[in-house]
Amino acid sequence: MDTDTANKAIAKKLEETGALLAIQKIVHQYPHCWRCHSPIIYRATEQWFCSVNGFKNEAVKAIESVKWIPEWGEDRIKGMVRDRSDWCISRQRTWGVPIPIVYCKDCGKPIVNDDTIKAIADLFRAEGSDAWWTKEASEFIPDSVKCECGCGEFTKEYDIMDVWFDSGVSHTAVMEQFNGLTWPADLYLEGADQYRGWFQSSLLTSVVYKGQAPYKAVCTHGWVVDGEGKVMHKSLGNGIDPAEIIDQYGADILRLWVASSDYHSDIRISKPILSQLSDAYKKIRNTARYILGNLGNGSGFDPDKDMVSAEKLTELDRWAMMKLDALIDNVKEGYESYDFHVAFHAIHNFCVVDMSNFYLDIIKDRLYCEKEDSDLRRAAQSVMYTILRALTRLMAPIISFTAEEIWQFMPHGAEDDTESVFLNQMPEKSGLTFDDAFVEKWSFIYSTRETVNKVLEEKRNEKLIGKSLEACVVISCGDDASYEKYTALADCLAEILIVSDVRVERGSGDTSFEVVKADGEKCERCWCYSETVGSDSEHPTLCKRCAEAVK
């Protein structure tokens, strides 16, 4: 009988014989199979054990030599190893790798020595482990092997080896057997439950075998959960097929979802999350697309001929290079520490905040209105080329298909391998130096632009202006220090703020910003308002700068 049926029969028999004192149903926690969810029945049986006590200290020392990502992993596995005295290596299953031990047919003593192990190893190497089940012991145990009782006949062990032992020796069964692989492994990557599983079985077998850990670093991740926070399982039917995501969004969005997540804890996935990531992806892609439009065919830019020297870069260009250097540092640090979300967010913020909202927005005037081969235009193109060339390589490990597509469409200098972005090294920093005064100055300019943009938006809503180039920004300074600072910046602020004019005046109180209509006429080429429009008789609708550029 199965246990449920037997319980009822036993209770009935006890009641019939008068031996039943009382009966009551009790609901309590009981172990269940994780796969089919049926109750598990415990039974007593002989098992094989490996003692851990004999090399526990060496295992703890090996743990300390490994980089654990996140760091709490070290304490977790240390505690498990310290609390462990032995390892039950036998399992009662009908499949698996057999435990290579035979028993004396007469006295039942287990026989395991160098002769038997070599004979079994030779058999497995020649015919595979299934030969254990198909052959009799007499077919592979040498005649010279005898039990202490004198018997030379043996029976086989029918328990299998714990499957964690199988995976736990993969460091030697795989890493040492194949050309191109090295021992120890650079990284073991698995879920957070493997501190008692694969990470530990690999560690214990390796310490016994070679006296050190089989990995240089161990990285753990959480589980993928659905929008409600439930862990995805095939048995629950709440999984999402990656192929569906790829069909709808593309493979790079799936890769971006992984990279943007802090995977050390559980990771949520749902259609709203993927839709949000799709928007972030478009920001990165559109930044690259804009730069490509100003470097590709028709732009007149050749990296081997038209790159300008550092001396010809404007301060705005140098600011962009400073931001790129910081990006390179942040992304490389993110990759090296396996914090891919740090790399992704750094790339996304750089594209949106530093490039689209600031640098690329400001340099449009230079790109479209300066003479084609002027130093100002070439400087902007040189910086954009440097940025795109670096950005594409930085994003390649995450959004690989997009990076490859960009690489194939962008111009290249002689130093690039044009076949694939993946055949090129990660970018190095520019080598430019940026002192504290430069950083402080441009931090001040950046915050000024944010403040002025709010005032411009207010005047736009009031219908005083349409585009920002219709405006003149009047900066009223209440103290000498602010007045001197803004006066020194007056020449570049109109370009930075994308307005036609900036005036700095003395006032009272805190510094304030006022937007008024710009003086002069609108140049039909650069759209700036200037009193020089019409000063050239050949081009009466252009400002002085545009007339010279056209000529």
* pLDDT per residue as tens digits for the range 303-315: 999 999 999 999 9
Query: DSSP state, 169?
Result: T
CB-based burial of residue 415 (10 Å sphere; 0-12 exposed, 13-18 middle, 19+ buried)? Answer: exposed
Q: Residue 490's pLDDT is what?
A: 83
> Mean pLDDT across the stretch 293-297?
84
Nearest to 155 by CA among 199, 107, 118: 107
Nearest to 525 by CA among 546, 494, 540, 500: 546
Contacts of 60 (CB under 8 A, 6+ apart): 78, 81, 82
Nearest to 152 by CA among 116, 188, 190: 116
Is pLDDT above 80 for 230?
no
Q: Is 503 helix (H, G, I), strand (E, B) or coil?
A: strand
Q: Residue 34's pLDDT is what?
A: 79
What gap in Å lies between CA 346 and CA 353, rounded to an integer? 10
Half-sphere exposure of 372 (CA within 13 A, CB side): 8
Q: Where are the alpha helices (DSSP H) in 17-158?
A: 56-64, 72-82, 114-127, 131-134
Contact 100, 112 (CB under 8 A): yes
Question: Scanning the structure block, which residue is given the tokens 């006066």?
Answer: 487
**How far from the centroid of its chain's Cα atoms is residue 381's Cα?**
30
At position 362, the amino acid (one-letter code) is: I
Contact 112, 120 (CB under 8 A): no
Nearest to 259 by CA among 334, 357, 153: 334
Is pLDDT above 80 for 386?
yes
Q: Residue 373's pLDDT is what?
A: 83
Is pLDDT above 80 for 387?
yes
Is pLDDT above 80 for 297?
no
Q: Residue 226's pLDDT is what?
A: 74
Domains and CATH numbers, the chain: 267-423 (1.10.730.20), 459-519 (3.30.2320.20)
Is pLDDT above 90 for 18?
yes
At position 274, the amino acid (one-letter code) is: L
Contacts of 388 (CB under 8 A, 6+ apart): 288, 291, 292, 295, 406, 410
Q: Residue 388's pLDDT is what?
A: 97
What gap in Å lies between CA 78 and CA 87, rounded to an integer? 16
For the chain, what is the radius of gyration of the CA atoms? 36
Nearest to 167 by CA among 197, 207, 124, 209: 197
Give the pLDDT band (50/70/90) at residue 36: confident
Q: Residue 62's pLDDT is what?
A: 97
Is pLDDT above 80 for 343?
yes
| Phi, psi (degrees; rounded to nearest 5) at 238 | -105, 20
Q: Residue 28's pLDDT is what?
A: 81
What gap in Å lies between CA 138 and CA 154, rounded to an integer? 7
Contact 518, 474 (CB under 8 A): no
Q: Residue 344's pLDDT is what?
A: 95
Cis peptide before 98 (omega within 30 of 0): no
Q: Is 52 helix (H, G, I), strand (E, B) or coil?
A: coil
Is pLDDT above 80 for 148?
yes
Q: Residue 35's pLDDT is what?
A: 80
What gap in Å lies between CA 374 and CA 84, rounded to an integer? 73
| Phi, psi (degrees; rounded to nearest 5) at 322 | -65, -45
Is pLDDT above 80 for 97?
yes
What gap in Å lies between CA 245 and CA 252, rounded to an integer? 10
Which residues partner with 514 through β-bridges? Answer: 474
Write the pLDDT tens digit of every residue in 488-529.
998 889 999 999 999 999 888 889 999 999 999 999 999 999
Say if pTM beats, i.e. exceeds, 0.85: no
> Mean pLDDT across the stretch 218-234?
81
Residue 136 vs residues 95, 123, 140, 536: alpha-carbon distances, Å: 18, 12, 8, 106
Is pLDDT above 80 for 236?
no
Q: Residue 508's pLDDT is what?
A: 83
Q: Where are the alpha helices (DSSP H) in 137-293?
A: 163-168, 170-173, 198-210, 242-249, 251-260, 271-293
Nearest to 321 by CA among 363, 268, 275, 278: 363
Contact 518, 529 (CB under 8 A): yes
What is the H or E stretch that residue 477 is in?
Answer: strand 471-477
Is pLDDT above 90 for 547?
yes
What gap in Å lies between CA 91 and CA 99, rounded to an integer? 9
Contact 295, 406 (CB under 8 A): no
Nearest to 41 by CA among 69, 6, 77: 6
Q: Residue 319's pLDDT is what?
A: 97
Mean pLDDT of the chain: 91
Is pLDDT above 80 for 300?
no
Contact 302, 411 (CB under 8 A): yes
Q: What's the first-to-final CA gap in the chain, in angstroms?
A: 102
Is pLDDT above 80 for 298?
no
Is pLDDT above 80 for 235?
no
Which residues partner with 529 through β-bridges? Answer: 522
> Mean pLDDT across the stretch 189-193?
90
Nearest to 335 by CA among 294, 396, 281: 396
Give the pLDDT band (50/70/90) at residue 3: confident
Q: What percent of the chain has pLDDT over 70?
A: 99
